[in-house]
Amino acid sequence: MVGRLLKGGAWLTRAWRSSGHERQTVLRVGKSVLAATLAWWVAHDLIHAQSPAFAPFSAVLTMHVTIHRSLWQTLRYVAAVVVGVAVQAAIGFVAGPDLFAFVVVALIALTLSQARALGEQGPQVATAAFFAFSVYSAATTNTDRALQLGQIVLLVLIGCGIGLVVNLCVAPPLRYRSAEQGLRTLAAEMETLLDDMADGLRSGDISDERAEQWRSAGERVQGAVSEARAGLSTAENSLPFNPRRLLPAHRGHLTFTRYRQVLAALERAVHQLGSLTRSLDQWRETENTYTYAPAFEAYGDFALRLRDIAHVIAELDSDTLADQARRMSEQAVVAQKALQNVLDVASEHKLPLADPSRPYGVLVVEATRLMEEFQHTSDVLEDTADA
């Protein structure tokens, strides 16, 4: 019990001190409560609706991570509700509120809910139709039934309108930091993999078990690429219709072209790392023909220099980008020298770079490509800092 309380306290502390996931969660819950309360007050106390719950339910559904997504999903939700109520009205006034009518309503509504245009709001067609059938069945006259069905649509519009206004006016979500966070997470995974590879190669530990660990780590890095893409997409979608983008403090974050270029370079580097780990996973311990230890040691030193670059990216912060770009540029120069050392050692020991049955040629090619991508990342960030 005490442990859970401590964890809860730590979570609230993070929400208070930083603008991360915890604070965003608190804001989303708080805004949802405010929007639901206002929608209930309007529906219950001002309109005296028979089914006021539609309004707060609709208000909460409009709370999404971006204003753009809120608007888009609200339009789909309203369309789904209107379709559902229309289906019930069309069938109800023809067949009446009996079991056969319900079967027909369910069949049509559930079929229409599969429409791609409604996206994830598709199931709301059936939900609205079923609630409308319930309200329709409880009414006694056709006039009352028509008014009740119209009221459902009105309550949905009220709830969605209140939800959008609250989401737009109360700390509207501006998620430009999501782009940085995605890149930081990806770079941190790459840093961990490169650090372990550097340790294994420099110490000569390229056992089957170690190589398999590197291959598994490479797969985790691939997963981080998807997360980085999602973070960048969220950041880009948080700008349209968002009034906070006009504030001076946020004007420097209105373009994500550079972030996309960095992500593309890192994604290519991840692909090269994946190829490298697969090559090492297939390495044969029985190799006795060539003196490969110095080459692997040099390669381990090169991986260590790439790890230093990844470490800088893992701390990416637009507020200190100039200093980070300078550090990356310095680390890239050191990495270039380490790469040249790999080539020199391979030449000195006459390693068979053209022999496809041995890993030397692949290692050199992947090292060159990795350096190109990390150098490109450094150049992009340096250009961004200068701009």
Higher model confidence: residue 14 or residue 248?
A: 14
Confidence of residue 284 (pLDDT cuts 50, 70, 90): very low
Model confidence pLDDT, tens digit, residues 174-204: 666 677 778 888 888 888 888 888 888 887 7
> What superfamily does domain 177-386 belong to in CATH?
Phosphate transport system protein phou homolog 2; domain 2 (1.20.58.220)
Residue 376 Cα distances to 101, 139, 161, 309, 383, angstroms: 65, 69, 46, 12, 10
Q: How many CB atoms lie within 10 A of CB 352?
A: 13
Return the residue matching tokens 């310095």.
Answer: 330
Confidence of residue 6 (pLDDT cuts 50, 70, 90): low
The pLDDT value given to residue 286: 43
For 113-176, where are the alpha helices, taking DSSP H only? 123-138, 142-169
The pLDDT value given to residue 177: 67
- Reference 370, options 194, 186, 189; nearest CA is 194
Which stretches of the chain are assigned E, i.e. beta strand? none
Structural contact between residues 254 and 188, judged by C-beta atoms closer than 8 angstroms: no
* Cα–Cα distance measured from residue 139 to residue 337, given in angstroms and rounded to the nearest whole number: 82
CA 257, 261, 266, 270 dihedral sign is: positive
DSSP for 40-103, please give it.
HIIIIIIS--SSTTHHHHHHHHT--SSHHHHHHHHHHHHHHHHHHHHHHHHHHHHH-SSHHHHH
The pLDDT value given to residue 3: 62
Structure tokens that stand for 376 in this block: 């490109």
Triad 303, 269, 362: Cα angle to 5°:
65
Q: Residue 305: how many CA atoms within 13 Å on its side-chain side?
A: 24
Structural contact between residues 328 and 378, judged by C-beta atoms closer than 8 angstroms: yes
Structural contact between residues 163 and 59, judged by C-beta atoms closer than 8 angstroms: yes
Structural contact between residues 270 and 219, judged by C-beta atoms closer than 8 angstroms: no
Q: Which residues contact 324 (CB under 8 A, 6 or more apart)?
A: 312, 315, 316, 317, 381, 385
Structural contact between residues 72 and 66, judged by C-beta atoms closer than 8 angstroms: no
Model confidence pLDDT, tens digit, residues 90-120: 998 888 888 899 999 999 999 999 999 898 8
Model confidence pLDDT, tens digit, residues 343-383: 887 777 666 665 655 666 667 778 888 888 888 888 888 87
Mean pLDDT rounded to a whole number for the chain: 80
pTM passes above 0.85? no
**Residue limits of CATH 1.20.58.220 in the chain:** 177-386
The pLDDT value given to residue 23: 66
Residue 358 Cα distances to 4, 164, 289, 352, 353, angstroms: 54, 61, 11, 8, 8
Structural contact between residues 64 and 75, judged by C-beta atoms closer than 8 angstroms: no
Residue 125 Cα distances to 61, 99, 214, 293, angstroms: 14, 19, 48, 66
Lowest mean pLDDT among 116-120, 254-258, 315-319, 330-334: 254-258
Q: Residue 116: how many CA atoms within 13 Å on its side-chain side?
A: 0
Q: Spell out the long-range contacts of 102-111 with Cβ–Cβ below 8 A and sequence spacing 24 or more.
A: 102/133, 105/129, 105/130, 105/133, 106/130, 109/83, 109/84
Res 267 pLDDT > 90: no
Q: Dihedral angle at the C-alpha atoms of 213, 216, 221, 223, nearest 10 degrees?
A: -160
